[in-house]
Each structure stands twice: as C-alpha cells, then as structure tokens.
C-alpha cells in the first residue's frame, strides 16, 4: 500500500521539496533514533547506516495508522478505536545499486509466515506491534540483508501526496470493485485516481477474479508504482509544492541518519535510471493453512536464491517476478511499440500502455517485414503476451521466432489500427 508506492512518491515529492528548501522542511519530519545499544520500541538498534559498496537498502513500511484521516475516511478505512493493534499494511525493500545501474523493489506479502525475533512465529505484518526495530530484525533474519535506512508512511500521507501530485492516471484491463475498500472502477479502461481512490486501489483485497488476494494486491501495487513513476518523470511536471511539503512533513517517519538530501539523491538517481532499470520482485511464497490460520509460506529454495542474489548483487533472473496463481503485473513486462505507418497513433498506444504500468521502450519505425497491426509474441513469452493482450484485446496476436533484445512483447501499430477498445 503506502510503502508500495513510496518510491514513486519520493521521486516527485522530495525533488519538489528541494525547490522550496530542504532544510526548512526537514525540521518538521519525524525521526527515529539509531543506536545499537537501545532497547526501547522507539529506537532502531538493528539498522546499520553504512551502505555496502555504495549499494543501500531501505526498509519502507506502509503503516496502517489512521492518524490524520478525516472522520469520513475513518468510517471507510476504520479508526484508531476500531482497528486493534499496530500493523504494517505493506513492507518492501528498496535496494539501490549504482554500480549496476539498478534499483530493486522487493515486496513482502502481509500474510507471510515468518519468525518474529523474541515473539515466535506469525504474520510478518504483525511484527510492527513490537516496534519498528522488530520489523527490521524480522526482515534481516529472513533475508540476510543489512538494512541501512528506515522509512515509514501512514495512510493519510499516501492519500495526501497523491492528491498533491494532482492524482495519478491508471489504466486497467477489467472492472475492479471492492466494497470493503470502497473501490469502484466499473469498467476496463483508464481512470484518473485521486488520493482516496488510489488508496482504495492499492489496498483492495476483495476483487472478483483474484485467486490469492494478498498476491494480486501486490501486483496492482507494482502496476500503480510504475504509473506514479511515469507521471513524475514526465517532462514539465510541476506540482503543488506547498501540499507536497505538508504531506512529507506530517506523514513520514525516517531514521535519524537519513535526511531529505539523501532521499533527494536517491530520487535523482532513479530519474536517471528511468523505468527500465527499476525491477520489481515479490518474496516467493505459497498459500498454507496452519492451525486454522491462512498464511503465505516462504517458498524455498527460490526465496533463498533471491535473497542471495540481492546480497551479492547478482542478476535476479525471473525469481520472484511473478506470484503463484496470480497474473504477471504489467510492471514486470517490457513492451516495444513499432510504428508501421500509423503516425501519432503509435505514440497514443505507447502512452496508454505506460499508464497501465508497463515498461514501454521508445517508439520506433517498424522494420519492413512488419506492415500491419499486431501483438507479436514467441513461445518463451506466453505469460507476458496474455497480460498485453488483455489491454489490447482488439489487436490480432502473431507468433514470431524471437523478440528484440530486452523486450517481452512487441506491438506493431499500422494504418489498419482502429484504436484501443474502450478508449
């Protein structure tokens, strides 16, 4: 939820804050002490500020705190009185690795069954009950990764930053309705989500067609994060700075060694990398019922291999790219759009796919052999084809021997293109 899009939010908000003066803003940001000798809940003893070979790992939490929400919003999402216990709505690791020009965003399912140091076995989102450092300990024990920095954002912070951005456009391939989350997107197509709608979109867990709600929700969060980054990287994006400043100041918590200058540097590097060098992964896991409680059990040896590759900076391959029983997120599909004489319409299709959360490479003139509109796929990219085809259902599929380097699916837009269905 809030944590799952904080990377994209920071790309804009912290960069915007730099314009009005980071020092002034930072005085209003809540910070947590870092001390390896501390024992209280309001201190981070396990965070290790020294990054390894310039690769830094951020633990980013989306807190389910209702603080700052209006009475109407608390009626929708629950109030501090009705929601018992502290939980993290989302836990992600963001690993920036400038040596390899990449950033990895790793999501942890909230129902993941883990060992919580000092408190037995439970769902990972419950570790927050015992304070931020217990979450750090839990993630460190599971992954073997040292956590260099801590970031926490609450529900109100997410909602208000999205509003300060002027909302976020998103395109979906099917109706999405969740009465509990108050999400109502009644048709496939494109929407412009304000903060409240965006909050419902990334929190929804009861959408028809989701086989494993926790995993489907993460796939949507990844999709939304891509859409956020796409908007913030758009040329000439100037936002309402005072609202961004207030959203950052009042609704974010960071460790005392992490200042907004470092976050600004992080966002600058992300902007330089662009969409193609930001990779999303999910901790490999499978559903399990233990003692009458539904969990997601860590899937070994895939998870072990993923954590090892993160620790040593190796290529991730396809581990954690998709979750079992869950469609591949558009955020993990790279699409190439060729213009075969369609003119501006090829650019329109590319923009539509970007708003849907795909990684879309620059539009180029089609090779001579491609003359008509089609979705081109090969046997090694069946899952990717299904995702793209869901958004471009009117385009005929055509099998090819292989894709261009770094491309999962190719879309050709020719003179016969009649538009995107429903747009």
Residues ≥6 apart with Cβ < 8 Å to 195: 158, 159, 160, 161, 162, 163, 167
Q: Are 404 and 336 in contact (CB under 8 A)?
A: yes
Give percent of the chain above pLDDT 90.
61
Q: Measuring CA to CA, which residue among 323, 411, 321, 333 is closest to residue 372?
A: 411
Q: Residue 231: is its pLDDT beyond 90?
A: no
The dihedral sign for the CA sequence 323, 326, 329, 332: positive
Does residue 85 surpass a pLDDT of 80? no
Please confirm whether the linkage preceding 380 is cis (ω < 30° from 0). Answer: no
pLDDT band at 54 (very low <50, low <70, confident <90, very high): confident
Q: Is residue 223 within 8 Å of residue 170, measured between CB atoms?
A: yes
Whole-angstrom CA distances from 277 to 124, 142, 156, 238 are: 28, 25, 29, 24
pLDDT at 223: 94
CA-CA-CA-CA torsion sign (389, 105, 307, 43): negative
pLDDT band at 82 (very low <50, low <70, confident <90, very high): very low
Task: State mean pLDDT over 107-127.
Answer: 96
Three-state secondary structure call for residue 216: helix
Burial of 354 (0-12, 13-18, 19+ CB in 10 A): buried
Residue 148's H or E segment, with its range, is none
> Please, what is the Cα angle at 33 between 31 and 39, to 5 degrees?
135
Tell me the range of 74-83, 122-131, 162-171 where mean pLDDT is highest.
Answer: 122-131
Query: DSSP per residue over 242-274, as a string?
Result: HHHHHHHHHHEEEETT--HHHHHHHHHHHHHH-
Give the pLDDT confidence score for residue 237 in this predicted structure: 45
Beta bridge partners of 107: 92, 282
Structure tokens at 303: 């998870």
Q: Residue range 302-318: average pLDDT? A: 95
Residue 412, beta-bridge partner list = 338, 374
Q: Is pLDDT at 79 greater than 50 in this prediction? A: no
Q: Is the Cβ–Cβ distance between 389 and 356 less than 8 Å? A: no
Mean pLDDT lowest for which of 31-40, 117-126, 247-256, 325-334? Answer: 247-256
How far apart, in whole angstroms, are the C-alpha atoms of residue 42 and residue 46?
12
Model confidence band, residue 87 (pLDDT cutoffs 50, 70, 90): confident
Residue 7: per-residue pLDDT: 47
pLDDT of 407 strictly over 70: yes
Q: At what angle do helices 155-164 and 195-203 cross, to 10 degrees?
A: 130
Segment 15-23 mean pLDDT: 55
- Which pLDDT score is estimated for 198? 94
Tens of pLDDT, residue by residue over 150-182, are 989 888 888 888 887 789 999 999 999 999 999
DSSP letter at 293?
Answer: E
Sheet strand arrangement including 285-290: 120-123, 112-116, 293-298, 285-290
Average pLDDT, the chain: 85
- Model pLDDT, residue 2: 44
Task: Single out the residue of 147, 145, 150, 101 nearest to residue 262, CA to CA.
Answer: 150
The three state secondary structure string of 344-371 is: HHHHHHHHHHHHCCCEECCCEECCCCCC
Can you state the angle between helices 213-233 and 260-273, rounded to 10 degrees?
90
Distance CA 304, CA 395 (A): 40
Q: Are 31 and 42 in contact (CB under 8 A)?
A: no
Using 50, 70 and 90 to split pLDDT, how confident is the model at 4? very low
User: Which residue is listed with tokens 């954590």?
Assistant: 307
Mean pLDDT for the stretch of residues 229-240: 58
Largest distance between two CA atoms of the chain: 68
Would you say residue 368 has pLDDT above 50? yes
- Between the ranges 45-54, 254-263, 404-413, where is the mean pLDDT highest? 404-413
Q: Residue 146: what are its φ and ψ, rounded to 5°?
A: -85, 135
Q: Which residues contact 256 (CB under 8 A, 6 or more apart)?
A: 31, 32, 33, 34
The tens digit of pLDDT for each residue in 242-292 reads: 566 666 677 888 899 987 666 666 666 666 666 778 899 999 999 999 999
Cα–Cα distance between 395 and 397 in angstroms, integer?
6
pLDDT mean over 61-73: 64
| Residue 23 in this model has a pLDDT that exceeds 70 | no
Asked whether 16 and 239 are in contact (CB, 8 A), the reply is yes
Percent of the chain with pLDDT over 70: 80
Q: What is the structure's pLDDT at 72? A: 62
Distances 261 to 4, 27, 59, 271 between C-alpha atoms, Å: 21, 13, 18, 15
């Amino acid at each position: 939820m809030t944590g799952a899009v904080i990377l994209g939010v920071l790309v804009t908000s912290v960069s915007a804050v730099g314009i009005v003066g980071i020092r002034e803003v930072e005085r209003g940001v809540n910070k947590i002490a870092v001390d390896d000798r501390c024992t209280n809940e309001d201190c981070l003893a396990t965070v290790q500020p020294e990054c390894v070979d310039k690769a830094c790992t951020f633990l980013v939490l989306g807190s389910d705190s209702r603080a700052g929400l209006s009475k109407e919003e608390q009626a929708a999402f629950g109030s501090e009185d009705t929601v018992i216990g502290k939980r993290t709505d989302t836990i992600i690791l963001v690993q920036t690795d400038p040596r390899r020009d990449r950033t990895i965003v790793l999501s942890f399912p909230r129902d993941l069954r883990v060992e919580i140091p000092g408190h037995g076995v439970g769902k990972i989102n419950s570790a927050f009950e015992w304070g931020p450092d217990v979450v750090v300990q839990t993630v460190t024990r599971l992954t073997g990764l040292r956590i260099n920095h801590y970031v926490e954002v609450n529900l109100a912070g997410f909602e208000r930053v999205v509003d300060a951005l002027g909302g976020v456009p998103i395109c979906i391939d099917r109706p999405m309705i969740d009465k509990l989350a108050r999400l109502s997107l009644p048709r496939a197509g494109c929407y412009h989500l304000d903060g409240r709608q965006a909050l419902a979109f990334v929190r929804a867990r009861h959408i028809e067609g989701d086989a494993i709600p926790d995993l489907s929700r993460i796939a949507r969060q990844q999709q939304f994060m891509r859409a956020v980054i796409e908007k913030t990287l758009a040329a000439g994006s100037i936002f309402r700075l005072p609202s961004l400043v207030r959203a950052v100041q009042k609704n974010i918590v960071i460790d005392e060694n992490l200042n907004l200058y470092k976050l600004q540097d992080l966002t600058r590097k992300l902007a330089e990398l662009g969409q193609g060098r930001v990779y999303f992964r999910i901790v490999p896991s499978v559903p399990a019922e233990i003692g009458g409680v539904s969990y997601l059990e860590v899937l070994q040896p895939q998870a072990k291999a993923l954590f090892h590759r993160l620790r040593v900076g190796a290529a991730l391959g396809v581990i954690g790219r998709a979750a079992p029983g869950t469609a591949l997120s558009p955020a993990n599909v790279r699409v190439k759009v060729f213009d075969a004489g369609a003119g501006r319409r090829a650019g329109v299709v590319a923009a539509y796919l970007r708003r849907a959360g795909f990684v879309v490479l620059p539009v180029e003139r089609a090779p001579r052999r491609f003359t008509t509109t089609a979705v081109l796929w090969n046997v090694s990219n069946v899952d990717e084809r299904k995702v793209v085809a869901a958004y471009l259902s009117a385009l005929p599929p055509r099998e090819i021997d292989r894709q261009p380097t770094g491309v999962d699916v190719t879309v050709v837009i020719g003179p016969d293109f009649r538009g995107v269905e429903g747009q």
